[in-house]
Amino acid sequence: MRRAKLIVIFVLILAASTTVAITMGALLLRYGTTGADQSVSWRSLVVAMTGVGAAFGLMTIAHLSLFAARQLGAERTSKRTEAWLRTWSAVAAGGEPPAVAKGELVAASEGASLLMQEIEGREAVRLRAALDSAGVTGNDLRIAAAGGTGSTAGASAALERLAWAAVPAAMPLFRKAATSPEPRVAQAALLGACRVLGAQSVPEPLGRDVVAAIVAHAASAREPYGSRAFLAAAMATTGRHQAWLAATLLGRQAPEAVRAATLDAVGITRTSEAGAVVSQWLGSNRGSRRAVEAEVLSAALKALARLGHLDEAAEEAAVEATRHEHTGVRVQAAHALVGATPERALPALWELLADKAFDVRLAAATALTACGSTGEALLKRCATSHRDPFAMDIASLMRSRRAPAALETSKPAATYASSGD
């Protein structure tokens, strides 16, 4: 439809410009002749302009006709997709799979991809089997492969449908398309690879292909950190295998953006198994004194903060991070310490209240309010007796935002002042 529209408009523009060029050339010849009749020339000019107006009118009519046809076609396609969505919903619930005519394969696949975004588990397995037996999956595989894994609009759409369906047979296509210069194609491929992993009972052997696709996708991106959010969202779809994926990516020389995105994904899903992997990784780095990039360390602490609980290794890493030179790391360390034991968290947060950066002081004050009555009591004490005037200010500011009833506590404030207090 788009190609036909462009051809019609091009032909009409060419006709209009040819009419103007011929008329203007004739006018120049007539004016250049001695004793030329100017009335005839003006009549020719009027005729030429009328022809141009008619041509542009035809262009407008053609454009509106093509637009109306496209809208009508889209409406018909939408109705067919909705019909197949209802059909596949019944199949996912346990109904018999229908026969799919050749002309309905794409519409059936569109309806199935919409449903696949909402279901999982046995329903997804049942629908995936029905799509395969009806020939819908095979048709999408042929379209995607014939189009060079995304070189055409139809191939890109087929690749996206395969991604939502999480078809294991499409893994070679996903790996190849993960490095495509077209963002739509590359993202569909990476999402498909991660969803395929999430649908497996065990991570191996397809897990290695997924890891390779993730690393290749980040390495081929112009701005690796620009794809960080999508990488994290895609890895979050790996389900029960996320801990395996996190351990694999953190344990190898993956790009910095990949490791940061891996930790972001842990924070998104908040699975305890993946959280244990992060704690173990932080402890291993501390034990071997291996340097970690500031962005990656910040992402790890943010993930632990979202998990809400720190084991001993994570506590040590969070306390050590409060002295990091990077402001963002210290901010995330303050938030992570909320999940630590009060004996480790409160002294560290007391010191962070006197940090040189306002963002860190604010994060420490916010963390203290989240530490319960002991944290609020310490914040109250800080407002009047901290050695640092900026710490006193931020504590007073935070307390002013709290309801007076929430600040009352029957427990005495713990003392964590240094010798200079």
- Categorize the per-residue pLDDT at 79 as very low, low, confident or very high, splitting at 50, 70 and 90: confident
User: Count of CB atoms within 10 A of residue 324's CB?
Assistant: 18
Instruction: Report the distance separating Cα 331 and Cα 328, nearest Å.
Output: 5
Instruction: Provide the pLDDT for residue 391.
Output: 87
Residue pLDDT, tens place only, 207-236: 999 999 999 999 888 787 788 999 999 999
Instruction: Provide the pLDDT for residue 171.
Output: 94
- Categorize the per-residue pLDDT at 420 as very low, low, confident or very high, splitting at 50, 70 and 90: very low
- Categorize the per-residue pLDDT at 19 as very low, low, confident or very high, splitting at 50, 70 and 90: low
Looking at per-residue pLDDT, the higher value among 51 and 408 belongs to 51
Instruction: Report the distance separating Cα 284 and Cα 305, nearest Å.
Output: 19
Instruction: Provide the pLDDT for residue 291.
Output: 83
Residue pLDDT, tens place only, 166-179: 999 999 999 999 99
Instruction: Report the distance separating Cα 165 and Cα 80, nearest Å.
Output: 19
- Categorize the per-residue pLDDT at 40 as very low, low, confident or very high, splitting at 50, 70 and 90: low
Torsion region of 413: left, alpha or beta (phi above 0 gives left; psi -120 to 50 gives alpha): beta
Residue pLDDT, tens place only, 342-362: 999 999 999 999 999 999 999
- Categorize the per-residue pLDDT at 421 as very low, low, confident or very high, splitting at 50, 70 and 90: very low
Section 194-212 average pLDDT: 92
Say if CB 301 and CB 266 are below 8 A apart: no
- Give the DSSP per-residue string, 101-156: -GGGHHHHHHHHHHHHTT--THHHHHHHHHHHHTTHHHHHHHHHHHTTTTSSHHHH
pLDDT at 148 over 60: yes
Instruction: Provide the pLDDT for residue 134.
Output: 92
- Categorize the per-residue pLDDT at 70 as very low, low, confident or very high, splitting at 50, 70 and 90: low
Instruction: Provide the pLDDT for residue 253.
Output: 77
Instruction: Provide the pLDDT for residue 74.
Output: 55
Instruction: Provide the pLDDT for residue 153.
Output: 84
Q: Write the CA distances from 175 to 44, 159, 170, 180, 209, integer angstroms.
A: 64, 12, 9, 10, 7
3-state helix, strand, coil in the chain (%, to 5): 75, 0, 25
Residue from 306, 303, 332 nearest 319 by CA: 332
Structure tokens at 305: 């903060």
Residue pLDDT, tens place only, 263-287: 999 999 988 898 899 999 998 888 7
Section 89-94 average pLDDT: 91
User: Count of CB atoms within 10 A of residue 230's CB?
Assistant: 17
Residue reference for tokens 């103007």? 20
Task: Tell me the CA end-to-end span of the chain in Å, nearest whole number.
Answer: 77
Arithmetic mean of pLDDT over the chain? 83
Instruction: Provide the pLDDT for residue 418.
Output: 44
Section 295-321 average pLDDT: 92
pLDDT at 294 over 60: yes
Say if CB 332 and CB 298 are below 8 A apart: yes
pLDDT at 2 over 60: no
Please give the biggest Cα pair distance in the chain. 113
- Categorize the per-residue pLDDT at 133 as very low, low, confident or very high, splitting at 50, 70 and 90: very high
Q: Which of 119-123, 158-162, 378-382, 396-400 has the highest mean pLDDT?
A: 158-162
